[in-house]
Structure 1
Amino acid sequence: MELCVSMWSVHRKFYNEGWTVIDFLKLCRDADVRHVELLDLFWRDVATELPAVLRFIQENDMTVAAYAVTNDFVSVDASQRAVELQSVRRGIDFARELRAPVVRVFSGDLKEGYDFESAFSYIVEGLKAAARQTDDGIVLALENHGLLAGRGDQVKRVIQEVGSDKLRSTFDVGNFYLVGQQPMESLAELSGFLGHVHVKDFVKSEVGLPATTGEYFAGVACGSGIVPFQDILSMLEAIRYPGKLSVEYEGDGDELEGVRQSLSFLRTLQEQMGTA
């Protein structure tokens, strides 16, 4: 399983220091990472940047493993849901240009008056429509994120209800802790539906990301926290997961160091396990 880095790992560099997609690609090239995950959030001037990104990727023998779309299908307003569907459609178009096989998508954000059951029909409706519009060679991958499809059983239920081989799972190994699940439990539930994998690490903390259990978690470099990476990689190898392992560093510390430490840990672990 080859390693990848998500540009979300350096989101503070983008927002606070003016980084561009090219800056991120240079970081990955210099870290000997050939595969990247790009996000729709990080274009400043897409008309100018996209051709430059395509040239850089080609010249440096890199690939875009996934393209992430920020969408939210949970709305009583049909016209707003149509806007969100169009956002996914644009993501599919970008994925085609970038030759990315995966478009990472979301279900939506928790809002007053909603829970998973009341939001379920809107999520399924949106993802069904998006799956029908997905090109050959590209799959949508629903991330376990937030409280609407944050659990493995919720993601699985959405995928099964949509009923299309164009919708898979973005399996985020850390996010499950935020909804009171262990990643290995969820991996067993979703092992037949994987389209993309996020690797990150957390530690329990007094402040940070709140979990449904009342606990808090803080992001750290891979290998520095509680995620059972050896067990996860062993199971991914056993089920012959064909995709990439995309590092998504979410710690408060130096982002570049967090990415480098995560890559170093994962490379060493893969060498020790013979899965590199």
Structure 2
Amino acid sequence: MKPLKIGIVVESTQLSLRQAIESAARMGARGIQVDATGDLAPDALGATGRREFRNLLRSFDLELAALNVPVRRGLDVAADLQPRLERVRKTMQLAFDLGARRVVVACPKLPEDAASPRAQLMRESLLALGGYGDRVGSFVALEIGYDPAEKVKEYLAGFGVGSLKVTYDPANFLLHGHDPLANLMPLEGLVSHVHARDARSAGVSRGLQEVPLGAGDIDWMALTATLQVLEFDGFLTVEREQGEHKLADVTNGVKFLKRFALPV
């Protein structure tokens, strides 16, 4: 088994891209996930810019773990769908050029009625992206959590393309009422990227909430061991969406995960 690779989500640090890269190197992370926006938007980064960005990461001994495409509407919403799909496709090409080959896109809750307009839109969207990914050599890593793993696996099996994968966020599963550990093994062969994010179940005096890595209810020793059994070769990128001390939480999260990075 190979050691697990640990990275960070740039936006969680609340630093500029350059500062986040420097911080990732100081933390001992091996890679970064970053939004494909602003200076890193596909249309803004030409051949020279792409080469310079690769060189910048190399100078800090880092890799690009994945590119994220933040969207306000899902792949199942008709409004502005074609420009949104084109943006994802361009990001897939950018990810390939930058060596990541993984593009994170939010996955809406899977449709119950396969004949509904929403279901048809989502299927057409994923067929378009999956076919494009097979041609250019990049993966769409759908960020899941609304639905149990078996349902996701069955759904994706119906597309017949190899580039539709998933981003596994155990906190997402816990926050939506699913067991984060039990839902990992059924996704064997589908997990391309992992968001290392923690959460705590509801209690008498509190609701479900995201917490710093290691402070929640997720069994990270068991989860990382399962990833190694699955021969996961992507990154665990430490992410923090809430909290007042995000940079410190990310730094401590990298340190925490390093305890489980080596094969058992």
- TM-score bracket for this pair, using the shorter chain length: 0.7 to 0.9
The separation in 2 between residues aligned to 1:167 and 1:193, in whole angstroms, is 8
TM-score norm. by structure 2 comes to 0.83
Aligned mate of 2:212, from 201, 221, 227: 221
Alignment of 1:124-139 (within 5 A): 124-134=123-133, 135-139=135-139
Check if 1:31 corresponds to 2:30. no
Deviations 1:1-56 (A, max 9, x none): 1111112322xx2xxxxx42212111111212221111124648845976653331
Moved more, 253-262 or 93-102: 93-102
Distance 1:164 1:54, change over 3 A: same
Aligned 8 A contact 1:173 1:183 in 2:
yes
Check if 1:81 corresponds to 2:77. no
Q: CA deviation at 1:184?
A: 1.5
Deviations 1:149-201 (A, max 9, x none): x4323432332122211111111111001221011221132123111111111
SS for the counterpart of 2:183 is helix
Alignment of 1:160-171 (within 5 A): 160-171=157-168
Distance 1:132 1:67, change over 3 A: same
For 2:76, the aligned partner's letter is V
Aligned 8 A contact 2:175 2:201 in 1:
no
Moved more, 237-246 or 68-77: 68-77
Distance 1:203 1:154, change over 3 A: same
The separation in 1 between residues aligned to 2:90 and 2:195, in whole angstroms, is 22
The separation in 1 between residues aligned to 2:39 and 2:249, in whole angstroms, is 23
The separation in 1 between residues aligned to 2:32 and 2:78, in whole angstroms, is 35
SS for the counterpart of 2:209 is strand
Tell me the equivalent position of 1:243.
Answer: 234
Deviations 1:47-89 (A, max 9, x none): 5976653331132222101111124212245xx2212210111
Aligned 8 A contact 1:3 1:35 in 2:
yes
Give 5+ residue unaligned stretches, structure 1: 14-18, 207-214
The separation in 1 between residues aligned to 2:250 and 2:131, in whole angstroms, is 36
Aligned 8 A contact 1:200 1:222 in 2:
yes
Give 5+ residue unaligned stretches, structure 2: none
Distance 1:258 1:42, change over 3 A: farther
Quick check: which one's helix share is greater? 1
Tell me the equivalent position of 2:57.
Answer: 57
Identity %: 21
For 1:30, the aligned partner's letter is R
Aligned 8 A contact 2:66 2:101 in 1:
yes
Check if 1:192 corresponds to 2:189. yes
The separation in 2 between residues aligned to 1:55 and 1:2, in whole angstroms, is 20
Name the Cα RMSD after superposition: 2.7
Moved more, 151-160 or 56-65: 151-160
Alignment of 1:1-276 (within 5 A): 1-10=4-13, 13=14, 19-41=15-37, 43=39, 46-47=44-45, 53-71=53-71, 72-77=74-79, 80-108=80-108, 116-117=112-113, 118=116, 119-134=118-133, 135-145=135-145, 147=146, 150-204=147-201, 216-270=207-261, 274-275=263-264
Aligned 8 A contact 2:174 2:201 in 1:
no
Aligned 8 A contact 2:212 2:240 in 1:
yes
Aligned 8 A contact 1:220 1:258 in 2:
no
